[in-house]
Amino acid sequence: MEDRKKTLKDLEASKLQTIETLDNLLANLGESLIARMETVSGIPSDGETPVKIWDEKNRLQKEIANAEENIVLIETDLRRLGELEEEINRLERERNEISKDVLPVYTELGRLVLIDSGFENFSSAFEKEMNDITMKIDYQQKKLDELDGEEGNIFIRATKGVRGMVNRLILTKNEAELEKLFRGAGEQFFIALENPGSRISSEEITLSDEGIIGSHKQKGSEFRQRLAELRDEGEKLRTERREKAAALDQKGNPARRISELEAFITNTKDEVIRVYRNFGACARKEEWRKFFAPFSETENIQDEKIDSISKSLHITEQQIEDVKIAIAIDNENAEISKLKAAINEKQQIINNAESAIAGMKNQIETAEKNIKNLSEKQHG
């Protein structure tokens, strides 16, 4: 019984392997026939079943091509997004560098303009604040000078360092405020030059092109021009990135879409192989032999292999059927043996019961005789 089950398992494994081999041979036959027919003249239109298979093959291959094209489009868009991100970051780095470089230019130009009497129309707005800060700086510097020349007892000398440090801190803060004012004034001066109006006169515009002021103005203008170019270029790139990302997201997560398309292509390619197999099987049917005859001259060897594998498969299937029948007979015989054993067991129980019943009947007869004898003695 167990040997037959092992034999059945081996035969079924052999059958699956044979079916796989046969399917591969039929698929290869179908693929080669289709390739030859496409090369020669295309499939005739009078074969209903082959034409349907042919059409299905074309449909599946078109779906694969469309899916592959969609993957290329998505990957191209993703790659472009990456390029845009890198380019935007590069522009931002350059913009940050130029923004740092232009600050000293703003500061120096603002200082030159605010101390030059030729720019009174522009500098008047900053005059009071500049004077206030300058007075504070002069005051702190004077106090430091006084501390440097200060003489006194131990207590005065001990506190001199602390007072000096405090005054230097205040002086540094005021100097920073003045530098900030110059920088803001320089930037405002550029804005006024770019947008002439009441804040700057035509004489000041002409004067701004002369000497060291003109040199700083030229340098600053170059920086500002490059910053404007970077801003415009960056905005174009960010707009493109935003539109590209929105278009991708509108159709779903790109990575998931690529994964789904790749899975679809894999499954569809399996379907194409199935179509090739059906085409090969169709070519071997007697009713279609004439239909495929013009394209099958070189398929004799492959036909012989398929015939051999088909016969082997048929033999294996017959062997499987024989073993299954044998196992079924074994199962029936086992059931019969099981039932016979049960019958014997029950029969033994019956025999034992009958023997017990016979003994009980003898006891009853003996008891009845004893009753009769006792009754006779009682009446005698």
What is the residue extent of each domain of the chain?
Answer: 1-26+298-380, 99-250
Q: What sign does the CA torsion over 27, 33, 39, 45 have?
A: negative
Mean pLDDT across 1-30 = 81
Q: How far is CA 359 from CA 157, 321, 354, 362, 368, in A?
A: 140, 57, 9, 5, 14
Mean pLDDT of the chain: 83
> How high is the pLDDT of residue 210?
82
Do residues 299 and 32 lie in contact, with contact meaning Cβ atoms separated by under 8 Å? Answer: yes
- Asked if residue 299 has pLDDT above 60, the reply is no
Find which of 27-31, 155-159, 216-220 is predicted with most confidence, using mean pLDDT: 216-220
More confident residue, 239 or 19: 239
> How high is the pLDDT of residue 268?
93
> How high is the pLDDT of residue 265?
94
Do residues 93 and 264 lie in contact, with contact meaning Cβ atoms separated by under 8 Å? Answer: no
Mean pLDDT across 119-133 = 88
- Asked if residue 163 has pLDDT above 70, the reply is no
Mean pLDDT across 333-337 = 89
> How high is the pLDDT of residue 153?
46
Q: Which residue type occupies 101?
A: D
More confident residue, 163 or 178: 178
Mean pLDDT across 264-285 = 86
Mean pLDDT across 244-263 = 88
For the chain, percent of residues with pLDDT exceeding 70: 86
> How high is the pLDDT of residue 43?
58
Mean pLDDT across 264-274 = 92
More confident residue, 155 or 71: 71
Mean pLDDT across 235-244 = 92
Alpha-carbon distance of 118 to 246, in angstroms, equals 54
114, exposed or middle or buried, with CB in 10 Å at 0-12, 13-18, 19+? buried
Do residues 93 and 301 lie in contact, with contact meaning Cβ atoms separated by under 8 Å? Answer: no
Do residues 299 and 29 lie in contact, with contact meaning Cβ atoms separated by under 8 Å? Answer: yes
pLDDT tens for each residue of 43-86: 555 556 677 787 888 899 999 999 999 999 999 999 999 999 99
Residue 21 burial (CB count, 10 A):
15
116, exposed or middle or buried, with CB in 10 Å at 0-12, 13-18, 19+? middle
Mean pLDDT across 238-265 = 89
More confident residue, 325 or 378: 325
> How high is the pLDDT of residue 307?
74
Taking alpha carbons only, the member of 65, 68, 43 closest to residue 53 is: 43
> How high is the pLDDT of residue 302?
66
DSSP 8-state symbol, 161: H
The pTM score is 0.59
Q: Could you tell me how many residues make up the chain?
A: 380
